[in-house]
Amino acid sequence: MSPDSQQPISPDQEPRIDDLPPVEPPSAGFIVQLFLVPAVIVMVVVGVWVLFGQIASSEQDMTRILADLKTSNENRRWRAAFSMAQMLEADSQKGSESQQLAKNSEVANELTAILKETLAITNPASQDLEHQTFLARTLGWFDLPDVVLPALIDTMNSDVLPESTNLADQQIRELQQGVRNSALTSVARMAGRLKERGSPLANEAISEAVISVSGDAEPSTRQLAAFTLGLISGDRVVARLESLLLDADKMTRINSAIALARHNSTAGFPIFKDVLEAAQQPIDPETIEGETDLDRKKNLQSAEFVLLLALQNSLEAISNLAESFTDEQRVELIGLITPISEDLRSQSFSQISEVRHTAGKALTALNSADG
């Protein structure tokens, strides 16, 4: 499982650009009339015309968007930023045929400039914070650490209101927390891609920024920070993750153990044991909160999904660390994983077979290392 395939135990899908309508090929009657060779010629001409039409349209769109990003008209700037986010996501799905928008420094510089402007607002309104969240998430599509990381660091370091009983203040606080989490998510997305390509993100400024927000009062932020620390390097990263193994929040502890595994550390062994033991016990519906039966049902499904994700990621981490565990640790893990690989009826997971398959892989890795 690649770093990107393992998700933090906590968050989006953005709108996609509609594909151009397909060009209809010549009809059968037309082919009969012109015979095979002329038909092929016509199809090639049509194909070339469409191709150059697409290229010209794309270039015009990019020119227009860049111009709108630089305008003083706020509505045009935000429409352009939204269009750019759509283009970045769509382009990322094209692989070798993409326009490499993720490496377009001109676009990245314009978007980071807009983000920095909004961060400079003294008393941001809810709309300003929503804009910051959107921009912070969009920057995660770029493969230009030197360009976008300073802005993401500033975003993570932006002030968050303290807890308050005032409803308006609390709403602003939640939006500010969303901004911070969006910046963390973008750092993790970028770092995951770089790690997958064999070029781990090594930036002391970003590692220190993530370490700093890993002490945030909000559990979701600590969860994301722990996940992100598993994808970046730094002098104090491993030490911070080890301290997060003692965090009051269970999901932060699990993310920390999995992140340490990415740094080839077995320090999360006790956490893995907890996850494996919990997976063999059914979740008691009586412990699930909710105002209505429907709410409780949804919350139960959510709790089972979180447990499944924790189990899947933990089993994958155990497989990768199989040779690093001590003989005693391997024996304990084998004893806990074997029942999961054979039977997981204690949970109502719809992906039971997938979990059992992952458990089987972990057992194979542990037994091979043991032998």
**Average pLDDT in the 238-252 region?**
96
Looking at 55-69, 266-280, 282-296, which range is the least confident one?
55-69
Which position has the higher pLDDT, 343 or 318? Answer: 318
Task: Tell me the pLDDT tens digit for each residue of 107-144.
Answer: 889 889 989 988 998 888 898 898 899 899 999 999 99
Confidence of residue 340 (pLDDT cuts 50, 70, 90): confident
Task: Tell me the pLDDT tens digit for each residue of 44-73.
Answer: 444 433 333 333 345 457 677 777 777 778
**Average pLDDT in the 292-305 region?**
83
**Whole-number pLDDT of residue 18:** 45
Residue among 57, 73, 70 at smallest CA distance from 111: 70
CB 182 within 8 A of CB 136: yes
Residue among 17, 5, 178 at smallest CA distance from 89: 17
Confidence of residue 176 (pLDDT cuts 50, 70, 90): very high
Q: Say which residues have a Cβ less than 8 Å from residue 310's Cβ, sequence separation at least 6.
A: 9, 251, 254, 275
Confidence of residue 167 (pLDDT cuts 50, 70, 90): confident
Task: Tell me the pLDDT tens digit for each residue of 222-241.
Answer: 999 999 999 998 889 999 99
Task: Write down the mean pLDDT value for the chain.
Answer: 81
Which position has the higher pLDDT, 269 or 26? Answer: 269
**Whole-number pLDDT of residue 5:** 55
CB 202 within 8 A of CB 213: no
**Whole-number pLDDT of residue 47:** 43
**Whole-number pLDDT of residue 197:** 87
**Beta-ladder partners of 201:** 232
AA letter at 158: S
pLDDT at 7 over 70: no
Which position has the higher pLDDT, 245 or 162? Answer: 245
Q: 3-class DSSP state for residue 165? A: coil
Structure tokens, 86:
């759509």
**Whole-number pLDDT of residue 348:** 47
**Whole-number pLDDT of residue 75:** 82
CB 209 within 8 A of CB 194: no
Structure tokens, 116:
């920095």
**Whole-number pLDDT of residue 21:** 46
Structure tokens, 52:
């150059």
pTM beyond 0.85: the answer is no
Which position has the higher pLDDT, 135 or 345? Answer: 135
Q: Residue 244: left (phi > 0), alpha (psi -120 to 50), or beta?
A: alpha
Which position has the higher pLDDT, 346 or 317? Answer: 317
Confidence of residue 11 (pLDDT cuts 50, 70, 90): very low
